[in-house]
Amino acid sequence: MADVKIGNLHKSYGTVEVLKDINLQVEDGAFVVLVGPSGCGKSTLLRSIAGLEPITSGAISIGGRNVSDLAPAQREIAMVFQSYALYPHMNVENNMAFGLKFAGVPKAEIADRVNEAARILQLEPLLKRRPRELSGGQRQRVAIGRAIVRHPKVFLFDEPLSNLDAALRINTRVEIARLHKLLKATIVYVTHDQVEAMTLADKIVVMNKGRVEQVGKPLELYYRPANLFVARFIGSPAMNTLAATLDGKGKAAAVAGVSLPLPAAVSGTGEITIGFRPEHCSIGKTGIPARVELVERLGETGYVHARTADGAALLVEVKGDPGLAQGAEVRVAPAAGHLHLFDGEGVRLAGT
């Protein structure tokens, strides 16, 4: 296993810059998830690490070795594709052994490695089957098996769960987490699903428009998002965000005519954005006035969709049935210590 270092990486297609100055460090044995909306460059970054996309400038090193100009096979990586990309004309065993044969690995060792991977992934009864005779989940496991047998320094996963149905996706997610523990592997994993990112990652890299927005542990991103983009992207349902004004005394911000106590002394005046999560606010006698538009009752919890007089949408998580009807006037109060403040550019205010 090895670490991955990416320094000042740029990638352009003609004049379009798709990756802008990416700097990233993946520690040995870490599970790093690249997450972001579609088109944010996360897959391109993964394919650049794999060597399937040439980079415009910058450097990629794996295990201390600069691999920027090496072919994929020489980088000692293994990639699991979103479509699995199993060779349709070969059975499961040959799919896994295929690359090793060309690498000149002795036959006995190939058999050992394939059997070991088959055992880990419970593929033993399926070794003689063709990909088309397998279910989606089984194909996924074969694709992972093909990566394992190569004994790579780094595993690269490109949205491996997006072709599976919901139930299988959760199972496979757990399976991948288990494999990571078992193999003590360095993994770079791409997904657009922030739940996958939160549950699997040691470290999440949030990307947007070719830039890294924030790197951090899952709960760091959740509790201290560095900017508005991360704040809105991480967490489900998404964070409420409202326009507000600092009053200059550093104590409260006027939101729709209501002053809210700030978590810390913030100096200065001007327009800011405040954010709080649906699970970190409550309906009570004080707070931001809003009108209820819809109540979703899920049983244990419920979601109240409301709208302020300025037209900003608010979502409040409540326990049980709030007993509110559509059109009811309510006040929403963010919980103390869970209020996020962002300046005019959307960057988290210093000291908060």
Partner 1 sequence: MRKPVSAFAVHAVLALYTALALFPIILVIMNSFKAKRAIFNTPLTPPMPWNFDPIGYSKVFGDSAIATYYMNSITVTVGTIFLTLLFGAMAAWALTEYKFRWNTALAIFLSIGIMVPIRLGSVSIIQLVSDLNLINTLTALILVYVAQNLPLAVFILSEFIQQIPRDLREAGRCDGLSEYNIFFYIILPLLRPAMATVAVFTMIPVWNDLWFPLLLAPTGGKQTITLGVQQFLGQYITDWNAVLAALSTAIIPVLVLYVIFSRQLIRGLTSGAVK
Which residues would be at the binding site for partner 1 (CB under 8 A)?
50-52, 71-74, 77-79, 81-89, 98-99, 102-103, 130-134, 136, 139, 146, 150, 163
Residue with smaller CB distance to partner 1, 18 or 226: 18
Taking the complex as a whole, the smallest distance from the CB of residue 32 to partner 1 amounts, in Å, to 19
Residue with smaller CB distance to partner 1, 150 or 280: 150
Taking the complex as a whole, the smallest distance from the CB of residue 154 to partner 1 amounts, in Å, to 11
Token code pair at residue 277: 């999560």
Q: What's the first-to-final CA gap in the chain, in angstroms?
A: 38
Backbone angles phi, psi at 161, to 5 degrees: -100, -5
Residue with smaller CB distance to partner 1, 45 or 78: 78
Residue with smaller CB distance to partner 1, 141 or 146: 146
Residue with smaller CB distance to partner 1, 40 or 78: 78
Q: Cα separations (Å) of 139 from 88, 96, 161, 196?
A: 11, 12, 11, 20
Backbone angles phi, psi at 338, to 5 degrees: -120, 25
Could you write out the DSSP letters of every residue in 197-230? HHHH-SEEEEEETTEEEEEE-HHHHHHS-SBHHH
User: Cα torsion for 49, 53, 55, 58, to the nearest 10°?
Assistant: 0
Taking the complex as a whole, the smallest distance from the CB of residue 56 to partner 1 amounts, in Å, to 16
Taking the complex as a whole, the smallest distance from the CB of residue 341 to partner 1 amounts, in Å, to 44
Closest alpha carbon to 317 in 239, 244, 261, 255: 239
Tell how far CA 161 is from the center of its chain: 13
Residue with smaller CB distance to partner 1, 129 or 211: 129
User: Cα torsion for 63, 68, 72, 73, to the nearest 10°?
Assistant: -50
Taking the complex as a whole, the smallest distance from the CB of residue 131 to partner 1 amounts, in Å, to 4
Taking the complex as a whole, the smallest distance from the CB of residue 290 to partner 1 amounts, in Å, to 44
